[in-house]
Amino acid sequence: MLVPLDSRLPLSYGELDFAGYINLDWQGKPRMAKLPDNLELSKLFALGYSNKKIAQMYGATAAAVDYRLHQIGLWRMPTINQVNTLIGQVWKVKATTGAGSHHNQGPIQYLKYWLRVRLGDSQMSDQQIAKAMRFEQRLRKELVVVAYDPETVAGFSYVSRLPSDEQLVIRWPEDVPYLDPEEMNLLRLSESQS
């Protein structure tokens, strides 16, 4: 938010823009204006500059760049965000700093790779794609699905497929309503490769 410069605000809290306005945050407090305006930031993003590089250019932090990009609707890895959102709609995954977090434990990591392939993520490495394919092969060969129990140390595990699992790659939680059909189809094995 930009407001006319008020002599009651100390200039050390923010910088003036070209028209004599002071840059304020969402709470109306002066903001340090190290990063460029949204248009310039969008251009740098489109040119492929990393958050770290942009931060170095303007004397800011990579986290500040990431925050501003999110504010203007730009995401570095939209497919990964889509996968994480989908998983978050199904399970409340235990997240802690350090040991004990379930976000990147075994089966969930392979499920994430598999979903990224299904969504056509072009930023995946050959190794990640291979892991996704091995994940699907395991589900088909061993007749298992991914289940989540937040009370266990591992969190995620492979469990035997039940008739109620249908073609889903996960054991659907009883207390969670099904998602829209398009999202549900992402979580199903195709019937073409039995």
Give the tens place of pLDDT for each residue, 26-40. 666 545 458 888 888
Handedness of CA 40, 46, 48, 52 (dihedral sign): positive
Q: What pLDDT digit, counting tens, does each position of 170-182 carry?
A: 999 999 999 999 9
**40, 34 Cβ separation under 8 angstroms:** no
- Of 144, 142, 146, give the one whose Cα is nearest residue 113: 146
Percent of the chain with pLDDT over 70: 74
**21, 5 Cβ separation under 8 angstroms:** yes
pLDDT category at 15 given cuts 50, 70, 90 is: very low
Largest CA distance in the chain: 73
Give mean pLDDT, residues 96-118. 80
**23, 33 Cβ separation under 8 angstroms:** yes
- Whether the model clears a pTM of 0.75, i.e. scores above it, the answer is no
Taking the C-alpha atoms of residue 146 and residue 38, their distance in angstroms, rounded to an integer, is 42
Q: What is the pLDDT of residue 10?
A: 45
- DSSP calls for 129-164: HHHHHHHHHHHHHHTEEEEE-TTSSS-EEEEE--GG
Asked whether residue 116 carries a pLDDT value surpassing 60, the answer given is yes
Looking at per-residue confidence, does 190 or 102 come out higher?
Answer: 190
Read off the tokens for 177: 């309503």
Q: What pLDDT digit, counting tens, does each position of 132-165 carry?
A: 999 999 999 999 999 988 888 778 899 999 999 9
Q: Mean pLDDT over all residues of the chain?
A: 79
